[in-house]
Amino acid sequence: MNQGELVKLADNILVLIRKKPKQVFEISTVARKLKSEIFDIHKAAKVLKTWGYGIKLSKSEITFNHTADTLSATEINFYLKTKIIGQNLVSFHSVKSTNDIASQVAGDYPDESVVITSEKQTLGRGRLGRSWHSPEKVGAYISIIITPKISLEKAPGLSVMTALAAAKTFESYCPGKVQIKWPNDILIGNRKVAGVLTELYTKNNKINYVVVGIGINVNQKPRDFPQNLRKFATSLRQVVGKKINRAELTAEFLNNFEKEYKKYQKNQLAGSLKRLRAYSSLLGQTITLKAGDKLLTGEAIDIDKTGALIVKVDGKKVTVSGGEVTVLKRP
């Protein structure tokens, strides 16, 4: 049995015993079910242990005791309830950027079931040419491929929709604390917990596919952030006070993303405005907004169904579909 086959067998054992923690399985039964040799089951079970799974193994029995802290496809799949998004999960240990891999995979035949995740990124990208600090084992780095049948002008709403799916996901870990800083930062206690990077790929001036990337700070301790980020970033663990299962969180985000995306395709964000307004950290604030080389200052008063921010500038309403916001005054 080669390494690839061994890994596949380890995965299959997991699928079988993962659902019933603490239950003792006869190795001979597992071998029969997986059409394998008992010797290979032993070898594959040892592989599972090296992945961090709590597996009790004797000559004739195997028991699943506890899960591993891993963002593997098998682990995410265990919690995934989607119909399409993420049904083709590809999980890496280390990549430069999951957005780049997603775009390469999408190629000429983009498929909405493909999601790329990685344990770490060596060149994680943020918005506006910034980098995204992506250390191993503590974050979740996820890229989703979608092929929305919408015109280019409507695309900025996709980032807002993704931020909404993320906010909804985090809400269940720390109710009442999550905010969205339009268009695509998710904050807790005014510090950034996740960011969205949406990249459009066009063909003949139409959307061919979109890669929606999200980086989530899940289990970072303050010292896991570089000094210059410590004041501005936080992690779910720091807020909740305990370590969070990254695979479960990733699956929950994908479950929520699929729901929001379905709604978005029907009627953009029309049905989500109430929730968006409630999550917004900007409404009612005096802000400065930089969009390209334009700079405007005014009061953020609303978000519309395209995901655009409505700002009152010198008594006039201005609609902006994207940009970098700084809050000037807090009431």
Q: Name the residue nearer to ligand BTN (CB basis): 27 or 89.
A: 89
User: By CB under 6 A, is residue 130 in contact with ligand BTN?
Assistant: yes
Which residue reads 């092929």 in tokens? 147
User: By CB under 6 A, is residue 99 in contact with ligand BTN?
Assistant: yes
**236 vs 243: CA distance, rounded Å:** 8
**11 vs 4: CA distance, rounded Å:** 11
User: By CB under 6 A, is residue 103 in contact with ligand BTN?
Assistant: no
Could you tell me the smallest distance in angstroms from the CB atom of residue 117 to ligand BTN? 9
Q: Name residues contacting ligand BTN, limited to 209-228 (CB under 6 A).
A: 213-215
> Would you call 120 exposed, middle or buried from its count of C-beta atoms within 10 A (0-12, 13-18, 19+)?
middle
User: By CB under 6 A, is residue 98 in contact with ligand BTN?
Assistant: yes
Could you tell me the smallest distance in angstroms from the CB atom of residue 158 to ligand BTN? 13
Comparing every residue's Cβ against ligand BTN, the nearest one is 195
Could you tell me the strand order of the sheet in which 24-26 lies?
Answer: 24-26, 61-66, 54-57
Closest alpha carbon to 210 in 148, 287, 286, 270: 148
Retrieve residue 171's tokens. 């809400």
Given the rule CB under 6 A, which of 24-32, 138-146, 277-285, 306-314 is the region that contacts ligand BTN? Answer: 138-146
Could you tell me the smallest distance in angstroms from the CB atom of residue 312 to ligand BTN? 26
Return the SS3 of 192: strand
Q: Name residues contacting ligand BTN, limited to 27-46 (CB under 6 A).
A: none
In angstroms, the Cα distances linking 68 to 52, 72, 102, 202 are 5, 10, 25, 39
Could you tell me the smallest distance in angstroms from the CB atom of residue 162 to ligand BTN? 10
Could you tell me the smallest distance in angstroms from the CB atom of residue 175 to ligand BTN? 23
How many alpha carbons fall within 13 Å on the CB side of residue 290?
A: 6
Which x/- pattern, by CB under 6 A, does the window 189-208 give for ligand BTN? ------xxx-----------
Given the rule CB under 6 A, which of 106-114, 117-125, 254-262, 271-279 is the region that contacts ligand BTN? Answer: 117-125
**272 vs 285: CA distance, rounded Å:** 21
Binding site for ligand BTN (CB under 6 A): 97-99, 121, 124-127, 130, 132, 141-143, 185, 195-197, 213-215
